[in-house]
Structure 1
């Protein structure tokens, strides 16, 4: 079952309390954090869908609503032929009163200010850093070996009591349990603060999804965004700024 704070998060971003109730499809325009400005974004839990219509015209949104699953890239491609897509990303949460298993030696994980990791972050692939959002955090939990940082994780506070967990591992340290160790510590920190942990991973990122499952997360939702060509645009003009939905930053900003 999807934790209620997760549903409240996306309802808050949509500014619509009707969103994501079972057996419903809700369409909004001008939300923050569901999709880049002007793009169409879909968040789906079970058989409930929340659609940010962006600049799509009403006919395109009607075709989207008619799909069995409007967050399914294959169905969207067949119905609307979008110009560009982002995702899908899978949304994972801990079920019920799940506890994070002890899979690491906690003595090797330490908390540090992210400001002390700037050189390490600068040496990593930009896409990995952006995806993790570690650079946007104030504090991170890190694992070192011989004084060298191998991985870092932490969380950002999102609306509705969500702690969005982000994990970053150096390419040459992957596959050795580093991500699991720091992610477990970060998830415990979120729970200790009374927040609901959220894990978001691209469907293609099997390594991230494997770590999440190892920690007890279960994939409960999906987020997919796409941009239509000008011929299918009929909504209000997009704002000048864009939100990176891959990032864990507070989506209200």
Structure 2
């Protein structure tokens, strides 16, 4: 049975269109795709950096990568400079974690409606909502309520093996009370039970989320940077 890390490697091998045996080849490597909607995705795993970009950006990307080190690949500055004039939006860097452990949540599964999630999200900054992924299509929600209002929600979105990509959003006034950890543990347990793994992603400057990943027993996998142009 493949480990969660091996299954993640299989996924990224398909994304970057390389054999799994060479996915972790040290250095900086680029894959170009004929997809006019694609931006730029940069993934670092250990000493390897993989870059996926649309073919129309080959000139800018190749020019940057010729002098880009593994250590600097997730620094937004060189990407912003190389893509000036294309109005780039830099997302990240973010950390990736995986887990195959069956976690034991402290609370039972409770499922909010999509409308409840939307009402909660309206009171939270849009960039936090986007990062959480709780409003993405085809996600499954788990929640916690206070005085009848949804105040914490986790989500399982599509990834390896089904819905295994975990997102989390907590209303600002209710942070620091352990509610996020409770609903995240529920989502992780459901994902692990069904598929044998789960993925967690968060911005590296989101200190609370990084610490929560460690408390939940998740294992570091890699880091990424996204660029919209």
Q: In 2 relative to 1, CA 78–62 (structure 1 residues): closer, same or farther, beyond 3 Å? A: closer
What per-residue deviation string (whole Å, max 9, x for no partner) do you get for residues 174-228 of structure 1? 1111110110110001001114211111111111111111101132211113468
Work out the CA distance in 1 between the residues paired with 2:212 and 2:34.
31
Residue 40 of structure 1: aligned partner: 40
Question: Higher relative contact order by CA 8 Å / sep ≥ 6: 1 or 2?
Answer: 1
Contact 2:60 2:83 in 1 (8 A): no
Q: CA deviation at 1:89?
A: 1.2
Residue 185 of structure 2: aligned partner: 184
Q: CA deviation at 1:86?
A: 2.1
Calculate the TM-score normalised by the size of structure 1.
Answer: 0.73
Q: CA deviation at 1:146?
A: 2.6
Q: CA deviation at 1:117?
A: 3.1
Residue 24 of structure 2: aligned partner: 21
Calculate the TM-score normalised by the size of structure 2.
Answer: 0.80
What per-residue deviation string (whole Å, max 9, x for no partner) do you get for residues 43-94 of structure 1? 11112221113333447425415533153306x6299544332211111112
Unpaired segments ≥5 residues, structure 1: 229-253
Q: Is 1:90 matched up with 2:95?
A: yes
Residue 250 of structure 1: aligned partner: none
Residue 124 of structure 2: aligned partner: 124
Equivalent residues, number: 219
Q: In 2 relative to 1, CA 116–150 (structure 1 residues): closer, same or farther, beyond 3 Å? A: closer
Work out the CA distance in 2 between the residues paired with 1:60 and 1:138.
33
What are the residue-to-residue correspondences of 1:146-225 with 2, within 5 Å?
A: 146-159=147-160, 163-225=164-226
Q: In 2 relative to 1, CA 173–82 (structure 1 residues): closer, same or farther, beyond 3 Å? A: same
What per-residue deviation string (whole Å, max 9, x for no partner) do you get for residues 84-121 of structure 1? 32211111112xx5443x4x6314x5123324433223
Q: Secondary structure of the residue that 2:57 maps to in structure 1? A: coil
Q: Secondary structure of the residue that 1:134 maps to in structure 2? A: coil
Residue 9 of structure 2: aligned partner: 7
Residue 243 of structure 1: aligned partner: none
